[in-house]
Structures are given as C-alpha cells and as structure tokens.
Amino acid sequence: MRLLWLFALFIFVPTKGLSPVDKLRNKIFTIERQQWIHLNDQQWRTSGSADIDLAKVFVLFDGEIHRWPLAAPPVLSSSWWKKPQKQVRHIQEMYATFLEFMRRQTEPGVKPARVREWLSLAASVLSDPKTAVSRAMSQLHQSVLRDQMFQNVLQEQRKYYNRSELCELQVSPHQLIYDLYNTIALAEIKGYVMMQFSWMLLKIYRPGNITEEVNQTRVQYEGDAIQIAEKTGNALANATRELYRCDPLQHIEGQTYDQITRLMQGYIENEVNMNNENTCRQNCEYYNVAKYYNCFKDQFCSRQPKCKGHILGCYFVKSDMTVCTSSYKSHRRYEWIRYSNGPKFGEANNCTLQKGNTYQVNSWWRGWFLHCSYCMCLCDDPENSDRYFSLKEATSNIRENKVVTGIRLVKQNNVFHIQISEGTLLKNGIVSPGSWLPNKIIKINDQNMKNGIDYHTLNHGTRAIDLDDLVAPAGWVLTGVRFRILGAHLNLNIRATKLNFETGHLSEDSMWIDNDNTDGSKTPRSRLTLNRPNLPTRSLAALPVDSKHDQFLEFTHSDFDKDAAQSTVPFIDVQPLEPYGRGVLLSGAGVSHRGAVGSGGFVALKLFTYDYAPHVRVRHPRDPSSPQP
Ligand SMILES: *[C@@H]1O[C@H](CO)[C@@H](O)[C@H](O)[C@H]1NC(C)=O
Ligand SMILES: *[C@@H]1O[C@H](CO)[C@@H](O)[C@H](O)[C@H]1NC(C)=O
Ligand SMILES: *[C@@H]1O[C@H](CO)[C@@H](O)[C@H](O)[C@H]1NC(C)=O
Ligand SMILES: *[C@@H]1O[C@H](CO)[C@@H](O)[C@H](O)[C@H]1NC(C)=O
Ligand SMILES: *[C@@H]1O[C@H](CO)[C@@H](O)[C@H](O)[C@H]1NC(C)=O
C-alpha cells in the first residue's frame, strides 16, 4: 500500500519539449523531494524496511533512464575529450556497482544486506577518496568548463574540411555538442542520484543532522548543471549545423567520386572536315559553332571517333602535333597532345597499347595560300556521355513516421540520382538507424522517360547547377529531396514535415522548400567560376568548401594545358553522407562545391542537423517550501 503511493510520483512531471537528460533531471528533483518527505517521517524511517524501499525507488529511477533512450555517446579520440571521458566512465562504473547492489536488495527471497554493507556503499560514494563520486563530478565539471571543451569543438569548425575527426564521423559540431551534453549531463545525473541516495541511507542508519551536507550536494549539483546547460546553449547557438564529406585520402572513381563525361570535350579537327565543300578558306576561329561533315582523305579523322554533336570554340594552336589517343574504353579522347616546339596539353604518360596510340598529326598547305589547319575545339556530343540528372523525388515514408537520415548522389545508367536513407522518428528527437532506399531509376532510352520532366540533360547551353543551403523552419524535419529545373539550372528542393519532438510524431503538414532566385533576378545569384580547372583528384590537400548559399556554377571542361580539356568538372562527390554512419534528426540539405584555385573541385550534397538549442534547459521544479532533510 505504502509503496503504491511511493511510486505514484513517477507519473507526472511537466517536461514538455526538453531533451531527455533535462527531463530526467527534473524527474530526480521530484523523486528526491518525495523521498525526503518520507525520510523526515520518523515512523517510516524506523519501520525496518526503509532501506529496501529506497532501493526499490532507485531501481525504478534507473528504469526511467532507460525509458528515454539516448543516442550512444560519440567515440572520439580528440585530446579535449580524454579527461571528461575518463570521469564519465568512472561515474558510470560506480553507478553500475551501486545499481547492482540496490537491485540485489529488491529481489524477493534475497538475504538482506547487513547495515555495515549499506553504510560501506554510502561511504564509497560520499567519502572514500579513491571512489568518491563528488570528486569525479567536480573533475568532470572542470574538464568541461575550465578546459573549455565546447570552445574546442567550436574551433574544430574551422578545421572541419581538413579530414578532421568530426568530418570523419560525419557529425556537425552542433550535433556533437548536443550529444556530448547528453553524455555529460547523464553522468552527472547518475552521480548526483548516487550521492543523494547515499545521504538518505545515512539518514536511516545514523542519527545526526546532515541538513547542511545534503543541501551542499544539491546546491553544488544544481549550480553545475545550470552552468553546463548554459555553456551548452551558447555553444549550440554558435555551432554550425551543416555537415558534408571531406576529401578522402584516396579518390576512387565510382566509390568516392564520379564524373559527368564528354560534356564539351577537347577535340582535334581539321577545318576541311567542318564545312560542306571540304575547303580550307577560313581559319580555326571561324568555327565557333560548327559541325562535322565528312572525313577528308582518311586522315586523322579516320583514326578517332567523330564528333556527332556541336563543335564549339575552335582555335589554332600549332600546325603539327603528336597525339596520344585514349583507349576506346576511356571517356577521354586523348591522353595528351604535344605540339611541335609548343605547348603540351595533358599530363605526359607513356602511350602504351592499353592507354592508346600515338599519331603524328600535321596540318598541310593546299596550293600557295590555303592552310588546312588542325584546330583545337570542344565537342558537345551527347552520345556515350554521362550527362543526366534524375528529377525524381526521393522521399521518406512519412505515413510510417520515417525521416531522411542520410543522402548521397549515385550514378546509375549514366544518370545521377539522389538517394536517401530513412529511419523511424522516435520520441525526443531520437531516430532509429537509417537504411538506404532504392531509387526510382531513370533509363534515358525508355520511351516513357521525358527530358525536362523525368530527367535533365546537360549540354553547352544548360549546364548550370545552383548551390544552395535549404533549411526547414524550427520544428520541421527533412523528409525528402529532389532536383528540378529552374531557369535551365539544376535546382535542389527539400521537403520538410512538421514534427512533435516530444512524442516523435510527424504531422500531416509537409512542404517543399527551395531557393527560387535566379541569375537574372534583381539580386541575382552569383556565379562561382572555375579558373583553369585541373582534375580535383590530382590535389593532395583536402579541398575546402568554397561556395556559399545563393550561388551557381556551370559544369565545364577541364583546362587545356593541364588535361587537354578531356574531363568534365567539377567531379561529383558520391560519398554517402549519414551522420555517425547511422543517421540523426535532420532539418536541411544543400549543394555545395569543394575546391581551390586551379582545381575543378567536387560538387557535393550537404546536410543540416536538427536545431536542439530550444530543447536544452535546466528547470527547477522545486518550490521554496519544498521539504528539507
Ligand atoms: C590539414 O591536416 C594535415 C594533417 O592533419 C596537416 O598536416 C595540415 O597542415 C592541415 N592543413 C591545414 C591547412 O590546416
Ligand atoms: C540541523 O542543522 C541545521 C543547521 O545546520 C538547523 O537549521 C536544523 O534545525 C537542524 N535540524 C535539527 C533537526 O536539529
Ligand atoms: C543551502 O546552502 C545555500 C548555500 O550554501 C544557502 O544559501 C541555502 O540557504 C541553504 N539552504 C538550506 C535550506 O539550508
Ligand atoms: C556564442 O554566442 C554568444 C551569444 O549567443 C556570444 O556572446 C559569444 O560570443 C559566442 N561565442 C563564440 C565563441 O562565438
Ligand atoms: C615510361 O616508361 C618508362 C619505362 O617503362 C619509365 O621509366 C618512365 O618513367 C615512363 N614515363 C612516364 C611519364 O610514365
């Protein structure tokens, strides 16, 4: 009978919208107050089973901890986490021992522990210099606040792109701070509960006035908890919620990056083949927009695949050259071009049979006046070219309460698709580990698939992609992504759905969010220009993000000198992006560019984690008239 009343206190504590640890803290304040009411009751205290009742309450409280599952603490090797982690572990071990003891006492039929054992447990928590929880608590507090742990995380923001630990973990600084806060605050709660219950045991067994000590413990804990919550709040406000993949140490095509191919590719053609009459009356520059007609006298034109699309921007370099043509399997036409007494295009390598063949290619004179020049041009030939983007949306199943937990670009059938992973939204902002959803795969040759509706085709007039950050309003989460075409640009959209953080339910309200600014508006999008771009895979240093919101870039050919204009840049980053490799609550996505001067860089998707700042708070449910020990 008495116990029923005792446990009634577990039913209601108002904690709406708080993070799980902040809820838990409010719970223990209530539990603690209730227990002191009993302990101040002389009759209850001396009933003979007060200690067992206390143990039962403790075990119940432990159940509360597990009722609100917390994400597993991050595994970090950063130096600033070493000290706090050590103290957290210490408190957790103590707690496990304490809990084990208490649980044993509540088991039916178990021989009750002797008073000496109870007291020894309390002493190990409160006063034993080796194991005292208060010492571990104050060291934890110091290592977090005095050693400026949160400052250190904020500083990592600047180093994020450089393959930092956070980037490797795929976690935003904001998310990490929130997760560290939960880990630390939970350890502090466990420590505090052990101390309070130890005082209570002393109160049962030992006459004497411990009002002062109990008050001290509580004042200390409350002060520390408030301080840490405040620091966390500040740090969360300053920490970025964006995350993206950093350059891998090794670039592997098809695994870490993929390429758009043969969009405006460097192409050698003789002017005699670019007009109907096989004349050489013009010069290279005349052929700014041209096409291939036929192959005059089986010259070099018969040794290379002809350009079946537009030939663009021809210019004259030198009359004679050596060309190393690429294998038919390659998406390149040429490995390199060496002009006699002149520049060399592309990186020198041995022109072996695997790579291709070497040809001597010489311009010639027709009569006295007409020079039949070999020109350097660009070929925009959609045949055998990977230049498509799916416009199908990738959405999580909101009817089953699923949210997006990860995102990546993949090339399937020459078409780039956005793929998402989804997980189930649970209570208090927790999301179950995500799994990747299959894509609606686009097949370009399928009659039912329409250019401009189902997919987008890049060509020399439509090859721009918008670089935007799209973030849902507070209280909305990411449930979908898609590309659409806006003013001939590829433009990312996100779908956001309203959630109830507390209950973990998605509402019926969803909306698509975009940045519909164009480069032709009153305040136009700005262009990110690629300056003589080399292949990004040739850069050893990690490339930083060099784009910002409301920009765009155009896919183009790599530099003539560096690569004979054989590749399309930027490359596409296809590394999956999923926080911690399992997914967390997200509220936005974007497209950005990682690059540097002279590098084509990578176009990559990014994510924004959920804003937890409103959910971190310490509240005092205690009123001034609450009972004292
Ligand atoms: C990036 O990280 C590497 C290895 O940790 C370091 O050697 C290099 O100096 C860093 N680069 C910058 C610009 O911080
Ligand atoms: C215990 O000590 C405090 C001051 O430390 C005092 O206010 C309180 O009345 C004392 N309680 C009892 C029961 O003596
Ligand atoms: C508890 O201690 C604090 C500071 O040490 C003091 O201000 C407060 O009055 C004390 N409360 C009680 C009930 O003794
Ligand atoms: C963090 O934000 C607070 C205000 O929210 C500001 O006072 C403080 O200077 C910021 N700290 C850093 C390191 O940016
Ligand atoms: C070409 O091959 C030779 C011998 O096989 C080698 O010594 C040389 O470094 C190679 N050159 C290039 C540019 O790969």
Nearest CA to ligand 5 atom 14: 349
Cα of 474 to ligand 1 centre, how many Å? 35
Ligand number nearest CA of 222 is 3
Judge contact between 385 and 261, C-beta under 8 A: yes
CB 503 less than 6 A from any atom of ligand 2: no
Residues 234 and 309 occupy one common structural domain: no
Residues 16 and 78 occupy one common structural domain: yes
* Number of separate domains in the chain: 3
Residues 319 and 229 occupy one common structural domain: no
Judge contact between 608 and 239, C-beta under 8 A: no
pLDDT tens profile 261-314: 999 999 999 999 999 999 999 999 999 999 999 898 888 888 899 999 999 999
Residues 414 and 349 occupy one common structural domain: no
Which one of 240, 273, 289 terminates a domain? 240
CB 216 less than 6 A from any atom of ligand 2: no
pLDDT of residue 7: 44
Place of tokens 């004292």: 628
Cα of 492 to ligand 3 centre, how many Å? 57
Residues 376 and 404 occupy one common structural domain: no
Q: What value does the mean pLDDT take over residues 373-391?
A: 95
Residues 375 and 401 occupy one common structural domain: no
Percent of the chain residues topping a pLDDT of 70? 95
Element (H, E) at 140: helix 133-145
Q: Which two tokens stand for residue 332?
A: 């390149």
For 473-500, b/e burial (b = at least 16 CB within 10 A) is eebbbbbbbbbbbbbebbbbbbbbbbbe
Residues 370 and 465 occupy one common structural domain: no
The answer to the question of residue 253 being in a domain is no
Rounded Cα–Cα distance for residues 293 and 311 (Å):
11
Higher pLDDT, 206 or 466: 466
Q: Which of 367, 471, 431 is nearest to 578 (CA)?
A: 431
Q: Which two tokens stand for residue 339?
A: 């002009």
Which one of 362, 380, 398 terminates a domain? 380
- Ranking 392-401, 403-412, 514-523 by mean pLDDT, the lowest is 514-523
Whole-Å CA distances, 504 to 424, 498, 512? 9, 10, 21
CB 145 less than 6 A from any atom of ligand 4: no
Residues of the domain holding 365: 265-380
pLDDT tens profile 206-259: 888 888 999 999 999 999 998 999 999 999 999 999 999 999 999 999 999 999
Rounded Cα–Cα distance for residues 64 and 391 (Å):
46
Nearest CA to ligand 2 atom 12: 209
- pLDDT beyond 60 at 629: no
Cα of 625 to ligand 3 centre, how many Å? 13
pLDDT of residue 353: 56
Residues 301 and 399 occupy one common structural domain: no
Q: Which of 153, 254, 160, 77 is nearest to 606 (CA)?
A: 160
Judge contact between 163 and 544, C-beta under 8 A: no
**H-only helix segments in 239-369:** none
The one-letter amino acid code at 3 reads: L
The answer to the question of residue 518 being in a domain is yes
Residues 366 and 398 occupy one common structural domain: no
Mutate to test the pocket of ligand 3, among 33, 218, 219 (most ligand atoms within 8 A of CB): 219
The answer to the question of residue 250 being in a domain is no
Ligand number nearest CA of 335 is 5
* Count of alpha carbons within 13 angstroms of residue 5, beta-carbon side: 6
Q: Which of 365, 431, 347 is nearest to 609 (CA)?
A: 431
Cis peptide upstream of residue 570 (ω within 30 degrees of 0): yes
Nearest CA to ligand 2 atom 10: 209
Task: Give the three-class secondary structure for 54.
Answer: helix
Residues 341 and 396 occupy one common structural domain: no
Read off the pLDDT band of 617 (50, 70, 90).
confident
Residues 367 and 482 occupy one common structural domain: no
Cα of 233 to ligand 4 centre, how many Å? 10
Residues 460 and 419 occupy one common structural domain: yes
The answer to the question of residue 623 being in a domain is no
pLDDT of residue 9: 39
Which one of 190, 205, 240 terminates a domain? 240
Tell me the β-bridge partners of 469: 590
pLDDT tens profile 340-362: 988 999 998 878 755 678 888 88
The answer to the question of residue 624 being in a domain is no
Which ligand 5 atom is the nearest neighbour of the CA of 349?
13
Rounded Cα–Cα distance for residues 440 and 444 (Å):
13
Cα of 538 to ligand 1 centre, how many Å? 17
Rounded Cα–Cα distance for residues 553 and 241 (Å):
24
Cα of 79 to ligand 1 centre, how many Å? 17
Dihedral over Cα of 614, 147, 176, 84: its sign = negative
Q: What value does the mean pLDDT take over residues 108-129?
A: 88
Cα of 539 to ligand 5 centre, how many Å? 22
Q: Which two tokens stand for residue 80?
A: 């600033």
- pLDDT beyond 90 at 544: yes
Judge contact between 553 and 570, C-beta under 8 A: yes
The answer to the question of residue 126 being in a domain is yes
The answer to the question of residue 256 being in a domain is no
Q: What value does the mean pLDDT take over residues 9-13?
A: 41
CB 157 less than 6 A from any atom of ligand 4: no
Pocket of ligand 3 (CB under 6 A): 215, 219, 628
Nearest CA to ligand 4 atom 6: 234
Nearest CA to ligand 2 atom 8: 211
Mutate to test the pocket of ligand 4, among 154, 234, 611 (most ligand atoms within 8 A of CB): 234
The answer to the question of residue 186 being in a domain is yes
